[in-house]
Each structure stands twice: as C-alpha cells, then as structure tokens.
Amino acid sequence: MTSRFHHRKNTHHGDRSKAKPNVLAWILAAFIVGVMAAAVNMTSNYVWVWSCVALLTMFVAWMIARRSQYQRQILYCGLGACVAFAVGLAEAKYTMTNALRDRLQTPQTVSAVVRVIGMSDGVDENWRQVVERVDEVAGLPKRWLLYPKFAVNAEQRRPIANLHAGELWQVTVKLAPPHGIASPAAFDQELWLLTEHIGATGSLESAVLVNANAGGWRVLLDHVDRFRNDLRDHIAALDSPARAVLLGLLTGDRALIDPDVRQLYQQAGISHLMAISGPHVVFAALMVTWFIQKLLNLTPLIYLRIPRKFILLPIVMLVVLSYALLAGWGVPAQRTVLMVGISIALTLFGRQWSTFLILLIALATSLLIDPLAIYQSGLWLSFVATTILVSLVRQPLPVGTPIQRAIQVVKQLFKLQTAMFVLLIPVTLAFFHQIPLFSIVVNLIAIPLIGLLVVPLGLIALMVWPIWTGLADAIWILAAWLLEQLHGLLLKLPLMIFYDALTPVMLIGLSIAVLIWLVPRGSFSRVLIIPCLLPSVFALMGAKPLFGYVHDAPVRVQVLDVGQGLAVFIQTANHAILYDAGAKKAEAREGMGERVVLPALSAADVFHLDKMMISHADYEHSGGAMAVLSRLMVDSLMSSKSLLNVKTEPCTSGQHWQWDGVDFDVLAPSYVCVNS
C-alpha cells in the first residue's frame, strides 16, 4: 500500500519536477522555431546569438536533469531540440536561397516549351496561368506566371490559347522579374510569388500546342485539375448570382468571385469559410463512409473476416486525400490530411497521442515539405485556429430538454466565436491589417447556414453530378439560393472594419498574450497578459488621439506605388489630403484604389480625408477615386472637371489654404471649369 501510494504521489500531474518530458514534442517545436528564425532573416548576422541559445538550452536541460528522475529524457530533449533547431534553420535557409536564386534578373523575350501547371487563377481579362519550362535554359527560372497579352481594352485582353493542366505548349513570352507593390499594407505579390516558387512573370504573346498529355508523375494531379476546370465551367453556367461563392465553398476556387462579394465577405469576417479546411474535408469523408457502411451492413458477415475499422478508416483516409486534391491542395487541406492520416494510423495500431502532438507533427511536416509555407497566411490561420479550437472545445455534452440543449449549444458557440475572434487578432492584423468588428455575430449565422446546409447540399450535388446532372444542378441552385439570402442579410447589416498595422513589438506582445491564455491554467499567471498588451494599448493611444493625426514632422508626404499613374498622400498634424487616387480601367474588377490607396490610408490610421484632389479625369489618376469615396468620409472633392457624378469643387491656380502652419497653394490650372 505504501509503495503504491508513493508511486501515485510521484506521478501526480501537479508535481511538475517529476513530469516526464515529451522528447518528440520538444524536437518538433525546435524544428519549427528554426524555420521561423530563418524566415525572419535573423540568422545571417546573428549566428553567435543562436549558438548561445543552443548552449543555454543544453545547460538548462542539464541543470533540470540533475534534479529530476527523468534525467536521460531531459538531456535528450535539450540535445534533440538543438539538433532539430539547426536542421530547421539550415533547410529553410537553403530553400529560401535557392528560391531567390531561381528568379529572373532582367526582362527578356523567350520562346520555349512549357508545361501547364494547375488551373488558371482567374478568367477572361483576369486570367493568369502557372507554367514550367521543360528544357533547361541558363538564366531562366523554372516556373513562370503568365498573363494575357497587353491590350487597350478588356475585349482584346483575353488569353490567346485555352491552356489545360498537363499540356505542353510552345510559347513566346515577354518575361519580367517578379515584382510587387511597395506601399504600406498592400498585398505583397513579390513574396507570394516567392512562396509559390515562381521566378518570373510575363505576357503570353503566342502559343502552339505540342502535346495534350505530357505524362510524368503529375498525371494524377493534372486529371484532378482538369476535373476542377470542368466543374468551374459547369457551375459558371448556372443561373444564380451566388454560383461563384458556391464554387469557392466546394473546391476553394475563387476565380469567378466578384470583388464586391469578396469585400462583403471580408467586411463580415467570413472569408475563412471559403477556405477548404478540416470541417469541409471531414464532412465529405463522413458522408461517403456512412453510405459505404450502409452498403456493407447488407452483408455483415464481412466484419467477421475483417474488423470494421480496417475497412472504414482507410476509406475515410482515401476520401480525405481525394477531396484535399480537389480543393487544390492548399495548406489547410494539407493540415487536415496529415492530422487525419496520423489519427487513423494511431487508431489502426492501437496507439493514442495527444492532439497537440499530432498538430505539431502536421505543422513540422508541412514546413519540412516546403519551408516557404511559413510566409503564407493560410498556414498561420489554419494551425492557430486549430490550436485554439483544441484548447477551448472541452465542454461536456449539453443535457436537459431540447430547448435547454439548444440554448446551451448557442451559448457555447457564442463563447467559442468570441474566443476565436479575440485570440486570432494578432494573426489577422499581421497579415490583413484589419478586423471585422461584426464577425462574431455574422459567424453565428453564417457558420450554421453554410456548414449545415450549403456545404452538405453542395457535396451531395457534387457526388450526384457524374450520374445525374439535372438533379445536381437543382441541388446546387438551392444551395446558391441560400447563399443569396445570406448575402441579402449581410448587405442590410452595418458592417464595420477596424484597421491597424502591427509593429514587431506589438505582434510579439499579442502573440505571447495568446500563448499565455492557451496554456493550461497554472502554467503561467494570466496577470502576465497585461504587460504583453501594453505596447498595443500605448500604440493605439498614441496613434489615435481624440482629435487629429500624430507624427513628428509638420508635414508628411507619401508617394504611393500605384504603377502607371499617381497617388500622393499628405498629412499635417490634424489634416489629411489625397492627391490623385491611382488607376482603374472602366472594365477592370479592381483598381489601385482598392489594392494600394485604401490599405495605405488604413495603415496610417486615416479614415477621414479633409480633401481629395484629382489632377485630371484620366483613368490613371482618377480611377481609384470612387473606391476611396465609397469607403472613407471625404469633406471636399476638388478637380478641374466634374468627376463621378459627385459634387466637385473647381480647382484653379491661386487657391490657398493653411493647415497647422503648413501653406498649400494651387499652381494650375489657370482656368475655371464649371461643373455640368
């Protein structure tokens, strides 16, 4: 009795000094930290810092081991963590160096045989296609992103050839080095091209089909992409305004979605629902498995020969893998495949690991396959959201009457959505610089509607489509009708967005606060969250006083990178003016107003303009004005001509005003144009 009691006392969870360390978890975490260290580019000049960190880790492990009965395991943790950190660091640096080396340096026109990779990311004038060159050519990167040939209007700007996955084409392309927009908070296309291993962009001048089926190891992926392309063409022909969103929910293909709908989903905070993640994939697997199980139950004697789990679990894995491929094999889908695969393997072999360890294995495997995925927002959102769900979803099943159970479920969903909203703030601000303030309420409506009705209907129609096209179309139209009702509701809500840009100190502080909140109670005092939040609180107080804007200089002039065109943002202590708003063609879906001007103003915490001046009516200068006027409050619009059917004040030479001690003088034009 005494020995048994002594054993229980030594193995109690509260005795942390006697807790057995998980060597594998420490090694995986160290590998992930090594990849992150390479991603922030802190290793080239600070090798000695990381060497000291490694030595300190080993020393701490040795000191703890002296006082613990698990000395060998703790020493293994320290040594394994150092080695894993070095491996992650080296692999990530090697991959990043090769990716940077495999980029075009100077523009040139080339003719080569290329293989089409995947689907076109966009249609018509927004068409763009990834290709890989077949033959080795010195000085040329392996993978290119092709656009339609430049034309004056959208009717002429169309792809000159219908490229499909797996085809070989002889093409003539005007290639250019990868480049992006160098403006605050704008989408970093150059970084995106790097993460996709694309070394050049170019306009497709001519194309001749060489081989309709290139073969090779990508044949299976080519067939999947062609099926996805056929599905896109079929759903695009449906008579429903919401067909593009329905396609995005089914396969993650957003090529048909209008920018206004994208903006609506961003403002509502439900863009994540169009990412094919765990619930989509697992739900599809459960539907297929349930159907197959019902068929197998007709001959139950089969279970006497083969245990049920050895029949059904491989089917689940096969469906999960197939649907992840259909969804484009994005990071959320990869995470689901890895986690489901590990869980199924453990079940088949009678083992049991913690969910956090499985999550660590999935994350480390994703980064081992492609360390550049560390720069993708999808990886962070997917794994952080899953970690939060694993940490919070520990509620017992609801009990009581049906009404009481329903109330308990709603309360739990509200608490979960609130926690997800708060804890995902660091990741959301770091990548998107905005937070939809109504996302908690909207998600309580959208998640049940889309998750329990739209997605199941869409998946059922997808399974029926190869057999009975008419029935599949009817089900898809019903699902799209439900989406139309959701869109109508969203348009009636007063959706608001909070914009801000995080500094590194703010991001680190918020991330540590989230970690302290997620770890088991008692590991750290939650009072430590307060100092972690102080950088963000002080920044908000300093950046957003009760009146006006704050910066050190009497005037701040920022020329935004809008390509061909102009947009200049000027601030004084208490006023702001925008001179020109970038380009947008009449037929284009988006312009520089949406892509550059508004994000830059948001990053500067400016949501109100005292003036906006448009130099002249050319689309390269006035094209983005409407986007700014629709999103921000503008006191005065000035131009030499009437614009956009909006009240426009004449702008003439000789006009003068003073803001906060700064003089503004209008030098031209010298004539007055009366508004029509």
Number of H helices, E strands in the chain: 25, 17
Label residues 281-320 b or e (16+ Cβ within 10 Å = b).
bbbbbeebbeeeeeebeeeeeeeeeeeeeebbbebbbebb
Q: Find the Cα–Cα–Cα–Cα dihedral 237, 242, 248, 249, rounded to 10°.
A: -120
Burial class (CB in 10 A: 0-12, 13-18, 19+), 401: exposed
What pLDDT shows up at residue 578? 94
CATH code of the region 108-215: 2.40.50
Predicted TM-score of the model (pTM):
0.81
Q: 556-665: which CATH topology? A: Metallo-beta-lactamase; Chain A (3.60.15)
> What confidence score (pLDDT) does residue 471 get?
94
Sign of CA dihedral 199, 203, 208, 212: positive
Measured CA to CA, the distance from residue 365 to residue 304 in angstroms comes to 37
Low-confidence residues of the chain, pLDDT below 70? 1-21, 41-75, 150-157, 276-278, 393-399, 499-504, 519-524, 538-553, 586-589, 644, 671-676
At residue 226's C-alpha, the angle toward residues 222 and 228, to 5°, is 115
List, for residues 250-307, the tens digit of each pLDDT value.
Answer: 888 888 888 788 888 888 888 877 776 667 777 788 888 888 888 888 888 887 788 8
SS (H, E, C) 281-315: HHHHHHHHHHHHHHHHCCCCCHHHHCCHHHHHHHH
Closest CA relative to residue 570, chosen from 630, 613, 540, 633:
613
Between CA 107 and CA 159 the distance in angstroms is: 21
Q: Report the alpha-carbon distance of residue 47 to residue 171 in Å, rounded.
A: 45
- Which two three-digit tokens encode residue 376? 């993708």
* HSE value, Cβ hemisphere, 13 Å, CA-based, for 70: 17
Q: Is the CA virtual torsion 609, 613, 614, 620 positive or negative?
A: negative
Measured CA to CA, the distance from residue 192 to residue 170 in angstroms comes to 26
CA distance 204 to 151: 12
Give 118-171 pLDDT, tens digit per residue: 898 888 778 899 999 998 887 899 999 999 886 555 556 677 788 999 999 999
Residue 109, classed as helix, strand or coil, is: strand
- For residue 148, whether the previous peptide bond is cis, meaning omega lies within 30 degrees of 0, is no
Contact call for residues 346 and 357 (beta carbons, < 8 A): no
Pairing of strands 200-211, 168-176: antiparallel
CB 58 within 8 A of CB 50: no
- Plot region of 77 (φ>0 → left; ψ -120 to 50 → alpha; else → beta): alpha
Residue positions counted in the chain = 676
The predicted structure's pLDDT at residue 217: 77
Rounded to whole angstroms, how far apart are CA atoms 576 and 540? 19
Which residues are CB-neighbours of 98 under 8 A, at least 6 positions away? none
- Please report, in angstroms and rounded to a whole number, the separation of the first and last CA atoms in the chain: 99
